[in-house]
Amino acid sequence: MMDSFSDSALSAYFPGLVDICQNEEGQLVYAIIKDGELIFSQEYKTDTDSFSIPERKHFQFTIPRAAEVMRYFKQDDDSLYDDLLTYLKRFSGLDDMQWAIVAHYIFLTYLHDHPCIDYCGYLLFYAVPERGKSRTGKSVTYVAFRGIHLIELREATIFRYSQNLHGTLFLDLLDVSKKAERGGCDDILLLRAEKGAKCCRVQNPDQGPFNDTVYYDIYGPTIIASNEQLHNILETRCLPIIMPNRPGNYENPRPELGIELKERLTVWRAKYLTATLPDLEPIDGISGRLWDITKPMFFINSLLPVDSSILEDSILSIAGEKDESRKDSLEGRLVAIIKEITEESALGRFAEWSIKTGEIRDRFNQGRPIDKYVSPQWIGKRLKSMSFHNRIVHGYSEIKITAQEYALILKQYGHDKRESQIPVNSHPNSLPDKSQQIQQPLKEVESGRESAQVRGQRFTFTTPEEKEVYLARLNELKETGGLSRDEMEGQAQGYLEQWRCDHDFPF
């Protein structure tokens, strides 16, 4: 054991720590729960280690006041959730269902390291410019657990904030996916949502095998604001908040405006950091990765005096939106074709059946120009990647499907007719459909053009998403100015072709 204060290791986080607070003399102290009591200490000792607090300059966020934390610890705080909503609504105009997701996520940042919580998905604010993404993100960051606002992606910074502070990172960037890839941070973003995830980097090559590698703990809450759509894999880890078009006279968030709520939330963390959380069964309509990243939200809800119905409706709305997105993907279109063939031939009455790969390819190619036809090899690889079993019978390739596999694949790609029971827009305050939000600001650009083809039928969109990508780029070029209409359309087409390559589209 280390014997002196000066020999203590600097630490701002260790298991069981509530947070670091500031006492009346301006000194930083650990807030720790011991035998059910909240105590403050400048040093923390275990049987094997001794920790002391780093200098104040290393904490780029507001520090809770120890006296206020103690005051709130000694009383009940049943109005915390409602007061948090009141605070948030000063800075932005979201729907009630969106606010439910945001508020629960803020509480989750204070319990993301709870032993029963394994995932902390990302809160994504997405829209065209000037919709209040940054303002909303900052208002959330200023009350979140150790919230830090970042306007650039540097892996060294993220590693240190994640491992040393275990804080909430607000990534306020134009195009998060591209900047993460260029900065070598894409693995960090993909893994950060899962507890225990680590990223390795070779830092000391001169020290030889094993000793040359450093492993960084990168798990923690993440808020993202982006004008551009995220990579589809990264987006599966996100809870999307599509910013409504609601101009208003909103306040500008400042860190000091959230200090009281931070102190009350710190007390809430102290009371529930080791609480036993209930066993939860998946909710019908919420499955897969979406259930993984939203299950902690329902854990949080069980600790709050809040009806779970609004949170459940909000997540179901996101599930419906994700189903629609999967339907429009290449795999979703293949599943639609498989469903069409199955129903036409009444194959669903069997426990197992086969469909010729060639028939799927023929239907997939219907309506395409001949030079845009996909090859049998491409179809075969796509079906294999979707876990369909392939076999060759009399020289022809076919896939085998069981009734169980069929039901599962329909559900995964939104073709199980669940949308008729839980429509995406069934609730008047449901999260707005992403395609509607993207198209609305682009109507001016789109006017005077055909909805499916561009002037002179120069090229054809094959999916709604391609059209969105093209028009978004065209809108950016128009705002920049200096180009003729033909030049803007040519550059937008080139941008779309590169986007197709990046997303592995077979055209």
Residue 53 DSSP code = P
Helix or strand holding residue 339 (H, E): helix 330-344
The mean pLDDT value for 305-316 works out to 93
% of the chain surpassing 90 pLDDT: 47
CATH 3.40.50.300 domain locations along the chain: 80-311
The CATH number corresponding to 330-412 among 1.10.3470, 1.10.287, 1.10.10, 3.10.590 equals 1.10.10
pLDDT at 194 over 50: yes
- Specify the pLDDT at position 7: 60
Contact 99, 200 (CB under 8 A): no
Residues 270 and 278: their CA atoms lie apart, in Å, by 18
| Three-class DSSP category at 171 | strand
Arithmetic mean of pLDDT, 32-56: 91
Which residues of the chain does CATH 1.10.10 include? 330-412
* Pairing state between β 17-22 and 238-242: unpaired
pLDDT value at residue 381: 87
Q: Judge contact between 401 and 352, C-beta under 8 A.
A: yes
User: What tokens were used for 299?
Assistant: 């854990």
pLDDT band for position 475 (cuts 50, 70, 90)? confident
pLDDT of residue 418: 46
CATH of domain 80-311: 3.40.50.300
- pLDDT tens-digit series, residues 415-432: 875 443 333 333 333 333
The pLDDT tens digits of the residues spanning 148-182 come to 999 888 888 888 899 999 999 999 987 887 777 77
Average pLDDT, the chain: 84
Dihedral, CA of residue 333, residue 425, residue 471 and residue 174, to nearest 10: -100
pLDDT in tens, 374-385: 888 888 888 988
**Least confident interval from 227-236, 247-256, 363-372:** 227-236
pLDDT (average), residues 438-458 = 38
- Whole-number pLDDT of residue 1: 37
- Top pLDDT among 5 and 29 is at 29
Evaluate if pTM is beyond 0.85: no
Q: Dump pLDDT digits (tens) for 320-349.
A: 877 776 777 788 889 999 999 999 989 988
- Please compute the mean of the pLDDT values over residues 293-320 and round it to a whole number: 93
What is the C-alpha to C-alpha distance for residues 89 and 85, in angstroms, rounded to an integer?
6
Q: Are the beta carbons of 383 and 360 closer than 8 angstroms?
A: yes
Q: For position 464, what pLDDT does the model report?
A: 58
Q: Is the pLDDT of residue 436 over 70?
A: no
The number of residues in the chain equals 507
Cross-strand pairs, 37: 34
Reported confidence tier of residue 463, pLDDT bands at 50, 70, 90? low
Instruction: Report pLDDT for 176.
Output: 81
At residue 370 the predicted structure's pLDDT band, cuts being 50, 70 and 90, is confident
Q: What is the pLDDT of residues 108-140, one digit of tens each?
A: 999 999 999 999 999 999 988 888 999 999 999
Given this model, what pLDDT does residue 417 score? 59
Instruction: Please state which of the ranges 169-183, 303-317, 492-506 shows the lowest mean pLDDT.
Output: 492-506
In degrees, to the nearest 5, what angle opens at C-alpha 464 toward C-alphas 458 and 470? 50
pLDDT of residue 23: 95
Answer whether 386's CB lies under 8 Å from 409's CB: yes
For residue 491 the two structure tokens come to 């550059």
